Structure 1
Amino acid sequence: MSTDASPKSRRLLVVLGALTVVTAVLAGVLYFTLYRPDQRVDDTVRAAVTDTASQGAIALLSYGPDTVENDVGAAKERLTGEFLDYYTQFTTDVVVPAAKESQVATQATVAASGPVEVAADTATVLLFVNQSTTSAAKPEPAVTATSISVELTKSGDDWLISGFDPVQAHG
């Protein structure tokens, strides 16, 4: 009997080993498809959200005293949700009057950018933005550098900005 138990034990070990490998592979596949939504989008989507966030930031932060209303109107086309409401109110109450009365002009450029999280219909992109501001009182450009977390939401085929928050430095 001891000679029969040994081949049966070996077969059982081989079957258990194979089941372990199959289980590990399935767990890995499930992790990367269900629990890692950033793995379900391709590089084209990552590039699209990064470009949308970058171009949107430039539109939001760049305007001139003679074109501010058109600049703000064009920027609003890139926004959605509560952020669109906030931006509309803020530009109406603060930006447009200040640009006209004080001859404020700003020009933003994106120095660096990268996707933080990208899913099928939402994304977060980190931007490093430089902004140059002039006014009638201060014609020499004041340059500031800011890190901004941009949230995007997919609407049809387009990505729209749904959040735009400066990143607080920790130190």
Structure 2
Amino acid sequence: MNADEKARWWSRNPRRLVSVLAAFTAVAAALAATLYVTTYRPDQRVDDDVRAAVTDTASQGAVALLSYTPDTVASVVDTARGRLTGEFLDYYSKFTTEVVVPAAQESQVATEATVAAAGPVDVQADTATVLLFVNQTTTSAAEPEPATTATSINVELTRSGDDWLISGFDPV
């Protein structure tokens, strides 16, 4: 069947053309509904209170993880572990025990972190990512003059019951 014959066939059978168009419309509507329910709606179920909670949790967690003195580093690390979960908790526990605590005590390192700005990047029902802009001031026995650094950190959070716990902490 050539193109002219196909065009004449469709023009002689307008009901078939309408039926085919109706079928395509139904498929498109079903696809749109599926995308709405699976992609758009989960994001809409997260309200502003949840966005504020994850942003606050990420900000407070960053300050807790990055602020300590030589005298408080061991207890700060122990307390900070309560804000963490998953593989990040395992990594943090090992890294702070083997590196941070001994170095801070031996070299008299003190650091204070502040969050200059924070915003949620992606918030779902049970997971979230928050971007933080952190300023950190550090002193040590070797460098008693405060040195300030600025960094951006992607903080991943996972819901655990009613709480949000940090499950990832990645400088950008």
| TM-score exceeds 0.5 | yes
Superposed counterparts of 1:16-165, under 5 Å? 30-36=34-40, 37-165=42-170
When normalised by structure 1's length, the TM-score is 0.81
Seen in structure 2, the aligned counterparts of structure 1 residues 103 and 83 have a Cα distance that, compared at 3 Å, is same
CA distance in structure 1 between the partners assigned to 2:114 and 2:55 by the alignment? 14
CA distance in structure 1 between the partners assigned to 2:32 and 2:56 by the alignment? 31
CA distance in structure 1 between the partners assigned to 2:33 and 2:115 by the alignment? 37
Seen in structure 2, the aligned counterparts of structure 1 residues 127 and 32 have a Cα distance that, compared at 3 Å, is farther
Where structure 2 has 5 or more consecutive residues not aligned to the other structure, the ranges are 1-17
In the comparison of the two structures, how many residue pairs are matched? Answer: 154
The Cα shift of 1:138 comes to 0.5
The Cα shift of 1:33 comes to 3.7
RMSD across aligned C-alpha pairs, in angstroms? 2.4
CA distance in structure 2 between the partners assigned to 1:85 and 1:121 by the alignment? 20
Where structure 1 has 5 or more consecutive residues not aligned to the other structure, the ranges are 1-11
C-alpha contact (below 8 Å) 1:41/1:119 kept by paired residues: yes
When normalised by structure 2's length, the TM-score is 0.80
CA distance in structure 2 between the partners assigned to 1:127 and 1:141 by the alignment? 22
CA distance in structure 1 between the partners assigned to 2:33 and 2:60 by the alignment? 35
CA distance in structure 2 between the partners assigned to 1:127 and 1:86 by the alignment? 20
- Segments of 4+ moved more than 3 angstroms: 26-33
